[in-house]
């Protein structure tokens, strides 16, 4: 008696599934509700099996089989219509891209963390605008940067930034007004006076790095490791008033390893709903919760201390006006403290790694840099950022490295406004996710002449090699641009200057850069493989 009922129910279930997609799942955003949907499905399945067993005297196995068939038919209806809609009816159906990407954002999953390289291949095959997800476009057209990220753009942050909700930081706020209010607090932390204070704090760790490299006595060292230790110590100091002790210990603090592991998870480029579901599973996220607790402890300790030279957190804490933070304010403070560490460390560490490699592969550019820097070196061997801010070759090298190997090399997703946007006469529909990945953007012949060549002079001596300067946005632009840009550039300029003037740097015997590139990975931030160098103190 159950079999005919189940058979007739299969068609009804499939139709219900199709209608569910038409009327509900194809509309709005659902990334915050993945866990809820799984719970609803589990309760509905369990209740249906129990109902068949107790009301129709079906055996448990028979009831389970019947409900599985009905639920399977429902899912077939949902996904059958989803595939048909995305292939033929979707607003992006006329944009080129792989069939898998047109059907599902699961196509973007990167088990090898090679999103950037895959984007280059897609753009080489399909052109400047590629559909790389069901509702996603990757765009390397130069006019897209202003249209998507510029100060007049009406694009907002896409659903990706909900990955940590309800925990928020300046970076993850999607609501414009909330982001704008928080950014006003942050902006006070980057006044010229405070940035000069950060320079003094950074110099302490520069001295420690120089001492550790000098102590290697010309033995090969993995520069990737020491660049990481240095960068995380610097940003730990600017977030919590003191570093992680990594340079002294010669190894990563466990909290740093956990932060990098978190970025490794993001580097899978899972759909946001799936990432949230997985991180909600207690056993899979225990390290994350341990990290959050540790950051809260460090921040609590920081709030009880007054510093002679303010750090970035000084401004964020001062905004409380001496009052005890509310729960929401405390969550925001801890989120922002993690943002200081991660955003400032991973990006600069990777840039230092690839920058030294590029200079060693182009020794003439390194010698030009040393000659340019020498007049600005004081008696103690240090440099002031204010003296070097406008040095042509130094800034040319930094810009060229950021063009070829931007630390955030792939997607910074934005959502188009309901009316859509125009890019060079091409209409991009509303409520779609768009991004301008800087790595393929920097290597596009549409934007640069000789795009794969390392030519620092293009930024000051040979501007004809830059076809579209607006395509260069390693710190992005507009309302959501990197607010820490002044500190990042200060660190890059002064640290690079000290390294190249205090050491004769060489590739270690047998070092070809093979592992550097082979083991690199794009985990939202670009991470490099091993690079063995020799640092001999200059005579």
Nearest to 345 by CA among 244, 236, 254, 452: 236
Which of helix, strand or coil describes residue 165? coil
Q: Omega into 166 within 30° of 0, i.e. cis?
A: yes
Task: Establish whether 155 is an annotated binding residue.
Answer: no
Q: How far is CA 208 from CA 110, 233, 481, in A?
A: 37, 10, 31
Nearest to 252 by CA among 343, 357, 358, 341: 341
- Quick count: other Cβ atoms within 10 Å of Cβ 8? 10
Task: Report the alpha-carbon distance of residue 132 to residue 136 in Å, rounded.
Answer: 6
φ, ψ at 254 (rounded to 5°): -60, -30
Spatial contact of 217 and 226, defined as CB atoms under 8 Å apart: no
Longest dimension (CA), the chain: 95
Q: What is the DSSP string of 406-437?
A: -SS-S---EE--TT-EEETTEEEPTT-EEE--
Give CB contacts under 8 A, 24+ apart, made by 399-403. 399/456, 399/459, 399/472, 400/358, 400/454, 400/455, 400/456, 400/458, 400/459, 401/351, 401/354, 401/355, 401/358, 402/351, 402/472, 402/474, 403/442, 403/448, 403/472, 403/474
Task: Report the alpha-carbon distance of residue 365 to residue 459 in Å, rounded.
Answer: 13
- H or E stretch including 130? strand 129-133
φ, ψ at 527 (rounded to 5°): -110, 135
* Residue given tokens 């340019």 in the structure block: 372
Burial 317-355 (b: 16+ CB within 10 A, else e): bebeeeeebeeeebbbbbbbbbbbbbbbbbbbbbbbbbb
Task: Report the alpha-carbon distance of residue 404 to residue 277 in Å, rounded.
Answer: 35
- Read off the tokens for 519: 């083991």
C-alpha Rg value of the chain to the nearest Å: 26
Spatial contact of 474 and 350, defined as CB atoms under 8 Å apart: no
Burial 110-132 (b: 16+ CB within 10 A, else e): beebbbbbbbbebbeebebbbbb
Nearest to 460 by CA among 403, 394, 406: 394
The beta strand positions in 213-341, using DSSP E, are 221-222
Binding site listing for heme: 482
């Amino acid at each position: 008696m159950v079999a005919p009922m189940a058979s007739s129910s299969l068609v009804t279930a499939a139709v219900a599934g199709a209608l569910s997609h038409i009327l509900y799942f194809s509309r709005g955003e659902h990334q915050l509700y993945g866990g809820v949907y799984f719970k609803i499905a589990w309760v509905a399945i369990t209740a249906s099996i129990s109902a068949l067993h107790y009301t129709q005297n079906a055996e448990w196995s028979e009831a389970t089989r019947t409900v599985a068939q009905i639920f399977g038919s429902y899912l077939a209806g949902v996904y059958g219509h989803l595939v048909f809609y995305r292939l033929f009816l979707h607003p992006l159906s006329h944009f080129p891209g792989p069939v898998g990407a047109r059907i599902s954002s699961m196509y973007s999953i990167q088990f090898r963390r090679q999103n950037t390289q895959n984007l280059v291949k897609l753009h080489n095959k399909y052109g400047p605008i590629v559909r790389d997800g069901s509702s996603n476009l990757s765009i390397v057209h130069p006019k897209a940067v202003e249209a998507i990220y510029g100060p007049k753009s009406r694009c907002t942050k896409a659903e990706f930034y909900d990955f940590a909700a309800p925990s928020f930081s300046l970076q993850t706020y999607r609501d414009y007004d909330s982001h704008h209010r928080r950014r006003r607090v942050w902006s006070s932390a980057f006044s010229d006076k405070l940035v000069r204070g950060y320079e003094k704090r950074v110099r302490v760790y520069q001295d420690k790095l120089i001492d550790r490299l000098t102590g290697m006595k010309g033995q090969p060292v993995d520069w990737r490791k020491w660049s990481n230790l240095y960068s995380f110590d610097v940003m730990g100091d600017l977030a919590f008033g003191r570093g992680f002790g990594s340079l002294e210990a010669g190894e990563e603090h466990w909290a740093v390893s956990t932060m990098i592991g978190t970025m490794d998870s993001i580097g899978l480029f899972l759909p946001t709903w799936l990432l949230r579901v997985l991180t909600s599973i207690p056993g899979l996220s225990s390290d994350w919760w341990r990290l959050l607790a540790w950051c809260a402890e460090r921040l609590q300790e920081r709030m009880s201390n007054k510093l002679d030279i303010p750090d970035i957190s000084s401004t964020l804490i001062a905004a409380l006006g001496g009052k005890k933070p509310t729960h929401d304010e405390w969550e925001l403070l801890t989120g922002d403290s993690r943002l200081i560490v991660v955003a400032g460390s991973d990006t600069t560490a990777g840039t230092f790694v690839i920058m030294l490699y590029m200079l060693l592969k182009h020794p003439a550019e390194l010698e030009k840099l040393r000659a340019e820097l020498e007049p600005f070196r004081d008696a103690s061997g240090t440099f002031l950022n204010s003296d070097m801010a406008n040095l042509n070759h130094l800034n040319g090298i930094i810009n060229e490295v950021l063009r070829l190997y931007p630390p955030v090399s792939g997607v910074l997703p934005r959502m188009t406004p309901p009316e859509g946007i125009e890019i060079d006469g091409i209409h991009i529909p509303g409520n779609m996710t768009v991004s301008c990945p800087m790595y393929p953007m920097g290597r596009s012949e549409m934007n640069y002449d000789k795009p794969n060549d390392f030519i620092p002079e293009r930024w000051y001596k040979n501007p004809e090699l830059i076809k579209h300067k607006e395509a260069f946005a390693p710190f992005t632009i507009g309302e959501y641009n990197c607010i820490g840009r002044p500190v990042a550039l200060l660190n890059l300029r002064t640290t690079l200057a000290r390294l190249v003037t205090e050491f004769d740097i060489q590739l270690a015997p047998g070092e070809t850069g093979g592992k550097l590139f082979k083991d690199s990975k794009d985990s939202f931030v670009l991470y490099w493989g091993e690079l063995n160098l020799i640092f001999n103190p200059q005579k």
